[in-house]
């Protein structure tokens, strides 16, 4: 028998061959074979799909103007607009009902970010305006609420119990087509340092995740929520079988803070860590090919008071082994200020345990006008621990920019990271001061999101 037929036809012919020559080729498949029912996900999906919603977020964005249009002379004589132009935007995505009584819905921050209006459509066709309870850009989690009755919520699984090879199902609203279900397996766990989000501990799956699936559900075969679909790896612009979901344990931890406080208050230990390579492991005399080593301890920080030292190799955080600096960052970043964390470290051939308390992040700030007249209106700070990632260079954070100021007209924006000034790499505000001192001309390299650019000020 030939199997050159494509898609569903090929599958149908293969199943027909298994059923034997007595099965009519064009007949519908039987409900059972030899008394055994054919496997189907339909009963599970009947209970889970009503808990997955479609989200439409309406907002606006500022249209970036050319430097010529921002020039006061040009604005005065040619009646150019003095205020930035605004353009309406629409984002389509998905969400998961996690509390039927209170109407809580988990989704991605990037689905509802800067939305003026959020509309939610349920599986049964009902539509509601949602209230934004809180967002966390670093983990890409947001919580919204709808005033609806008769909702269905998904039970939460323990994502720590997931294993590579477990079957999973992705439910969402790809390309705005409406609710769609795809299936696959867990391809990998603990994916970090991808540069997609600030805090990463992704479940990787080959279940098809496409644009519009963001914020949708990744469920196990019991219909329990194991993750929130958030991103795809798409070199050619389409699905290639590599999708990523935020583990529900992480999402739930963030959600509780967003519901209680409207934001996530992250603290810091005051350490900078890097991945432990086999070469570094050999230098430290430890038989370990993965882990993290402390490369810097901030003065007067919880780490210093807890007697951590540069060169300590972190083995465990609260009893759980860590394989990379990204894992350490995730574990600490999800703890609330005031929480106590136990660090198991390796130092000089000994295994030690240190207990530390998470403290609020302390940011030293510097006014831009004290650096350069064209930086007036901007405020700079050292890069906080929550924004430090192994895949990203150090720098200085633009913590605030006032509209219609020289810094604003120079295209600086809040959360930009200044990587270098006059070609000098920056790690601290002191580096920034040194690079700018005595120079009227200032060339800065700015990182914004996944992009970067040079800005010349003179």
Residue position matching structure tokens 């929480």: 339
Q: What is the DSSP letter of 311?
A: T
Whether residue 136 lies in the annotated active site: no
Helix, strand, or coil (residue 49): helix
**Cα–Cα distance for residue pair 198/264, rounded to 1 Å:** 13
Candidates 91, 136, 140, 324; catalytic one: 140
Q: Are strands 36-37 and 52-63 parallel, antiparallel or unpaired?
A: unpaired
110 is a catalytic site residue: yes
Burial of 40 (0-12, 13-18, 19+ CB in 10 A): exposed
CA–centroid distance for 209 within its chain: 15
The one catalytic residue in 94, 159, 208, 214 is 214
User: Under a CB-based contact definition with an 8 Å cutoff, are residues 120 and 55 in contact?
Assistant: yes
The beta-strand segments (E) located in 83-224 are 85-99, 104-107, 115-121, 127-129, 131-136, 141-145, 167-172, 180-191, 202-205, 217-220
Cα 276 from Cα 27, distance rounded (Å): 60
CB 223 within 8 A of CB 47: yes
Place of tokens 């921002």: 70
Catalytic entry in 91, 94, 110, 312: 110
Token pair of 379, please? 């405020």
Cβ neighbours for 68, distance < 8 A, ≥ 6 positions apart: 74
Q: Let me know if 140 is a catalytic residue.
A: yes
CA distances to 97, 173, 364 from 146, in Å: 10, 18, 40
- CB distance 171 to 194 below 8 Å: no
Considering only CA atoms, which of 334, 159, 197 is closest in space to residue 257? 334
- Catalytic positions are 110, 140, 214
């Amino acid at each position: 028998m030939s199997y050159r037929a494509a898609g569903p036809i090929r599958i149908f012919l293969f199943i027909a061959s298994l059923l034997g020559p007595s099965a009519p080729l064009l007949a519908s498949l039987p409900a059972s074979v030899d008394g055994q029912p054919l496997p189907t996900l339909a009963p599970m999906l009947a209970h889970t799909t009503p808990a997955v919603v479609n989200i439409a977020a309406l907002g606006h964005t500022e249209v970036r103007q050319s430097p010529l249009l921002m020039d006061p002379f040009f604005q005065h004589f040619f009646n150019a607009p003095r205020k930035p132009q605004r353009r309406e935007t629409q984002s389509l995505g998905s969400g998961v009902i996690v509390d039927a009584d209170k109407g809580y819905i988990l989704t991605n921050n990037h689905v509802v970010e800067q939305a003026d209006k959020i509309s939610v459509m349920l599986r049964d066709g009902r539509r509601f305006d949602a209230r934004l309870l809180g967002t966390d850009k670093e983990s890409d989690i947001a919580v919204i609420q709808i005033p609806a009755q008769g909702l269905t919520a998904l039970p939460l699984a323990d994502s720590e119990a997931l294993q590579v090879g477990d079957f999973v199902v992705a439910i969402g609203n790809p390309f705005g087509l409406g609710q769609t279900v795809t299936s696959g397996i867990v391809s990998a766990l603990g994916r970090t340092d991808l540069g997609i989000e600030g805090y990463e501990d992704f479940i990787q799956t080959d279940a098809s995740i496409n644009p519009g699936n963001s914020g949708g559900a990744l469920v196990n075969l019991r219909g329990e929520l194991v993750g929130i679909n958030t991103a795809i790896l798409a070199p050619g612009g389409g699905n290639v079988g590599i999708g990523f979901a935020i583990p529900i344990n992480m999402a739930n931890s963030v959600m509780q803070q967003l519901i209680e406080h409207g934001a996530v208050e992250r603290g810091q230990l005051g350490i900078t860590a890097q991945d432990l390579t086999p070469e570094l492991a050999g230098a430290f005399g430890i038989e370990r090919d993965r882990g993290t080593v402390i490369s810097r301890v901030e003065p007067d920080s919880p780490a210093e008071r807890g007697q951590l030292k540069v060169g300590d190799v972190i083995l465990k955080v609260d009893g759980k082994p860590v394989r990379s600096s990204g894992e350490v960052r995730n574990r600490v970043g999800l703890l609330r200020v005031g929480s106590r964390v136990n660090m198991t470290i390796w130092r000089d051939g000994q295994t030690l345990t240190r207990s530390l308390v998470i403290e609020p992040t302390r940011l030293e700030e510097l006014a831009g006008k004290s650096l350069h007249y064209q930086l007036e209106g901007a405020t700079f700070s050292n890069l906080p621990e929550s924004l430090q990632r192994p895949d990203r260079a150090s720098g200085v954070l633009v913590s605030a920019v006032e509209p219609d100021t020289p810094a604003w007209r120079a295209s600086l924006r809040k959360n930009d990271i200044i990587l270098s000034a006059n070609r000098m790499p920056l790690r601290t505000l002191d580096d920034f001061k040194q690079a700018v001192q005595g120079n009227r001309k200032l060339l800065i390299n700015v990182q914004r999101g996944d992009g970067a650019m040079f800005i010349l000020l003179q």
